[in-house]
Amino acid sequence: MFYLLWKYNLPSTSQPCRLLICIGLLHPHEIHLFCAAKVEDEELGHVDREIPPGTRSDEDPCIPTRIRPHYSYSLMDYFLKYLLFLCNLVFTVLGLVVIGLGIWGLVSKESLALEKIGSIGTDPMLILLTLGLLLTFLCLTGCVGALRENCCLLKLFSWIVLVLITIQVLFVIVAYSMQDQIEGYLRSGILAAMTRYQDDLDLQFITDEIQLSLQCCGADTFRDWEINMYYNCSAPGVLACGVPATCCLDPFENGTVWNSQCGVGVQLMDEFTAQSVIFLGGCLGGISRWIEQHEGLIGTIGVVVVGVQILTVKKLLLCSPVPSPSIPGISSPKLVIIRIALLLFGCHQHL
């Protein structure tokens, strides 16, 4: 906007210019500097004059002549602009939904209460909330930058995506070179979730989904459930020496009723007897098998995602803002103040 303000015809008799001269922001000779700079741009063909129909600027000096810069956009530029806008808009909405789910989960479980605030760092809902905030910030930056054609926002978006690409590549390298350590971290995470199985509904849901989808039980073996205070054989109650119902081969009776006690007493059985009731394999082995079976699909998706990100970054980093013109004889800080003053004193209605 400031780029266009100085290009208006502002004769010395116009009210904004007289006011600027009176308060000392503008000297009479600087009016001619404004005009000379504008005429030079017109002669070089950098701008077009656009006079409202039925109005002549020489008849009414209070009506400025609009100077509009030349921009040429190809069809592909428009396509990429609105494609980037729509994609980021969709993911912005998705990020807001994730934020809502994270806040709802923290509030419903009262995780923000003083007595539970110490364990909030391991709450899955906090991770969900953090991911939602990052996703919303990133995509909102790209969305607004694409819609407003703001090169600063687009370059910020590009650099963030570039950082994400670097993190993804480093993660793949580290995961490939430190498989044993990652397996150890994963085992520790599963055992921690099993320990808090009844205390955290989110961890319970995640553990149940893993065991049902991968048809596994425990981290390495079904006897890992002894780590849980409710399934430990020394615990009082019906769950002692048992496993969750999601470990069972058929947790449904007659295909309709969920039998939550189908795993009771399984830890007292030998493996030969237990295999007719529950899945014997651990979930670590199930995760490894799932990755091996789908490694081609995972690799293809990874290459496509990283490729799209690289192309997006390459395209957006070529974005260059329209340079702000300078006027010989008027310092840049003063020029900015003059432009702001002209905007405040009545020139904004012609934008």
CA dist., res. 231 & res. 203, Å (int): 16
Question: What dihedral angle (degrees, nearest 10) is formed by the CA atoms of 305, 306, 309, 315?
Answer: -120
What are the pLDDT digits (tens) for 207-240?
999 999 999 999 999 999 999 999 998 888 888 8
pLDDT at 1: 36
Sites in the chain below the pLDDT cut of 70:
1-73, 110-122, 253-255, 318-351
> What token pair was written down for 250?
């058929």
The whole-number pLDDT of residue 119 equals 59
Sort residue 237 into left (φ over 0), alpha (ψ -120 to 50) or beta.
left
Kindly report the backbone phi and psi dihedral angles of residue 256, in degrees, each rounded to the nearest multiple of 5, phi listed first. Answer: -130, -40
Model pLDDT, residue 217:
94
Per residue in 235-266, pLDDT tens? 888 888 999 999 998 877 666 777 888 888 89
Angle between helices 201-214 and 179-195 (to 10 degrees): 120
CA–CA dist 188, 227 (Å, integer)? 12
pLDDT of residue 10: 44
Q: Report which of 196, 195, 244 is spatially closest to residue 222, judged by C-alpha positions.
A: 244
Contact between 131 and 98 (Cβ < 8 Å): yes
7, 41 in Cβ contact below 8 A? yes
Q: Answer left, alpha or beta for residue 45, where phi above 0 means left and psi between -120 and 50 means alpha.
A: left
Q: How far apart are CA 309 and CA 102, in angstroms?
A: 27
- For residue 228, give the DSSP letter: S
Global pTM reads: 0.59
